[in-house]
Amino acid sequence: MRHALPGRVHAKRPICSVTARPKRISLVSAVVAYFIVSLVYAAPGSLDLTFGFGNGKVITPITTNADDNAHAVVIQPDGKIVVVGACGTPTVRDFCVARFERSGALDTTFSSDGKSITPVGTGNSDAYAVAIQTDGKIVVAGQCGNVGTRDFCLVRYNPNGTVNANFGSNGQVVTAVGTGDDALEAIAIQHDGKIVAAGTCALGGEDAFCVVRYNADGSLDTTFSGDGRVITSVTTDRDFARALALQADGKIVVAGYCGDTSVSVAFCAVRYLSTGTLDNSFDFDGRVTTAISNLFDVPLAIALQADGKIVVAGASTPSGGDTAVGAVRYNPFGSLDTSFSGNGTLAFSIGIGNDSAQSVAIQPDGKIVLAGSCEDGSGYVFCVARLNSDGTLDNTFSINGSVITPISANADDRVAALAIDSDGNLVVAGSCGTSPNRDFCIARYEGGPFGARNCSLDIDGDGKTTATIDGLIATRVMLGLTGSAVTGGITFPLNAKRNSWTEIRTYLVTQCGMTISS
């Protein structure tokens, strides 16, 4: 047909039409091809090939001839990616922070080279958590000190990467919470700017959950439990807090694992009122414990759904078996949500050995994304899975709801954290390589956007495909235009679903997998 068309035109029309018709066909073909390529190469669960060096991955050394272990990631409102962790040798470690552009390149407006290393307190310092304030300042938290006397430690950075001297003492805060080692694992920032930190602290001879709340200047908030600190025993054995989430009503949910670590441990969660007291509406005493297997169930992450349900994820190890990805969902008042996997608990394998979920996030459509490390036969690699709201694997994500990705050539790629950006991409961060030269590494996956894609040439969504509207928009976007340069001069029909650049860009990014600047 393509060969016959020019000949037929040549027989019936003047020569000038012969030169015009192929150009129109070429343009339409290019537009169609562009959309087809978007669909083929931007399927949910595939690596985002616009990130990094065209392969969806970035590996970045922070120090030279030392280990750089990433522990947390957060995405700024402008799309820049902040990764934090501990860098150095086993005997000398410091907080380290790296900020990346949307493209995966280091952001040289941050500390001149995109990287910042900060000794905190005395002894070693390890950053395990990060949060962004509304003014763009970056709060990084972890622990510092020597074994037996480690404390909660926080540092606040200005948006340009310098330490913010107005926070605590010269930008740093060190807080002794329990009677021995204090291990800070997570932080979150309230709407009023107060900072909530959670971790594990010594209480008597045992370990217990501990929560500290700071004012925006880094001072302890004495409206929280009287002195800004609260320590809670969840069981009569050892309790280790690993994750934190803030509810919209100001309540604080902390999750971790509890039990006799030499015999068995289970998922456990505690909910506090904004005052720091236990919320007795949560499983009657503010505390809940849940076993998935009969051996070791270790939660490492928490996320809150829009309906108030609480998802806790980590690892589950049955007796005599490999570790699997484990997850639990609670109703808002602490009971198990039986609409999730039938009984509120779930365990499944991704790789062919030990698997675990290090992080969990909820998409706007309610689907649950889990990221962690899995064994693929040669070592540990990144793995990501997506669940439907009922706990079943989402088969629109990759082939069977999960994906395994080697990042480095050393077969020891460990996921630390996951974040979802404004375009629906899944940003997974961790550490890669072989000690003593491990590096920060990031992989970015297509988020789907949220379910299967719905991309067509009907860009304005009026049920028709026209050259004067849809074709013109596609052509302008292909030429690199944005904003009013795309929509200018176009009269949209009254039934158009998308008649502004913001709506059109969102559609092209989330449904067609395109990468378009704002």
State whether 466 and 405 are in the same domain.
no
DSSP code at position 340: S
Domain holding 474, by residue range, is 25-42+453-510
Any domain includes 3:
no
Per the domain annotation, does 517 fall within a domain?
no
Contacts of 64 (CB under 8 A, 6+ apart): none
CATH number at residue 84: 2.130.10.10
β-strand partners of 145? 124
For residue 438, is it within any domain? yes
Whether residue 12 is predicted with pLDDT greater than 60 in this model: the reply is no
Bridge partners, 473 (sequence order): none
Radius of gyration of the chain (CA): 26
pLDDT digits 0-9 by tens, 69-87: 999 999 999 999 999 999 9
Give the residue from 445, 478, 502 where a domain finishes: 445
Q: Please tell me whether residues 408 and 305 are part of one structural domain.
A: yes
473 and 491: one domain? Answer: yes
Does 19 map to a domain?
no
Shared-domain flag, residues 475 and 435: no
**Do 466 and 373 share a domain, yes or no?**
no
Asked whether residue 52 is assigned to any structural domain, the reply reads no
Q: Are 346 and 278 in a shared domain?
A: yes
Collapse the DSSP code of 211 into the 3-class scheme (helix H, G, I; strand E, B; otherwise coil) and give the result.
strand
What's the CA gap between 468 and 448, in Å, rounded?
Answer: 29
Distance CA 499, CA 163 (A): 44
Q: How many domains does the chain have?
A: 2
Give CA–CA dist 68/133, Å, rounded. Answer: 25
Indicate the SS3 state at residue 319.
coil
- Phi, psi values for residue 120, rounded to 5°: -130, 130
Position with higher pLDDT, 423 vs 355: 355
Average pLDDT, the chain: 90
Return the DSSP state at 412.
B
Mean local confidence (pLDDT), 298-319: 96
Of 366 and 1, more confident: 366
Q: Do the Cβ atoms of 84 and 62 come closer than 8 Å? A: no
Contact 73, 420 (CB under 8 A): no
**Measured in whole angstroms, how far is the alpha carbon of residue 235 from the centre of its chain?**
30
Percent of the chain surpassing pLDDT 70:
90
CB 304 within 8 A of CB 362: yes
Are 65 and 87 found together in one domain? yes
468 with 423, same domain: the answer is no
- For the full predicted model, state whether its pTM sits above 0.85: no
Phi, then psi, of 439 in degrees rounded to 5: -130, 160
pLDDT greater than 50 at residue 499 = yes
Sign of the dihedral defined by the CA atoms of residues 68, 72, 75, 76, in that order: negative
| pLDDT surpasses 80 at 408 | yes
> Is the pLDDT at 40 greater than 50, yes or no?
no
Q: Are residues 356 and 460 in the same domain?
A: no
- pLDDT of 7 > 60? The answer is no
Show which of 395, 428, 445 is a domain's final residue: 445
End position of a domain, from candidates 424, 445, 466: 445
Long-range contacts of 51-54 (CB under 8 A, 24+ apart): 51/103, 51/104, 51/425, 51/442, 51/443, 51/444, 52/103, 52/104, 52/442, 52/444, 53/104
Confidence of residue 9 (pLDDT cuts 50, 70, 90): very low
C-alpha span between 327 and 392 (Å, rounded):
12
Render pLDDT for 131-165 as a digit per residue (tens, 0 to 9).
999 999 999 999 999 888 899 999 999 999 999 99
Work out the angle at residue 52's Cα, subtended by the Cα atoms of residues 50 and 57, and round it to the nearest 5 degrees.
105
Helix (H) / strand (E) element for 374: namely strand 368-375
In-domain check, residue 150 = yes
pLDDT at position 447: 87
More confident residue, 25 or 370: 370
pLDDT at 26: 56
Q: End-to-end CA distance of the chain: give it in Å, rounded.
A: 40
- Of 508 and 485, the structure prediction assigns the larger pLDDT to 485
Q: Are residues 156 and 125 in the same domain?
A: yes
Residue 20 lies in a domain: no
* Inside any domain, residue 405: yes
- In this prediction, residue 104 carries a pLDDT of 97
The three-state (H, E, C) secondary structure of 47-103, written as one string? ECCCCCCCCCEEEECCCCCCEEEEEEEEECCCCCEEEEEEEECCCCEEEEEEEECCC
Do 346 and 243 fall within a single domain? yes
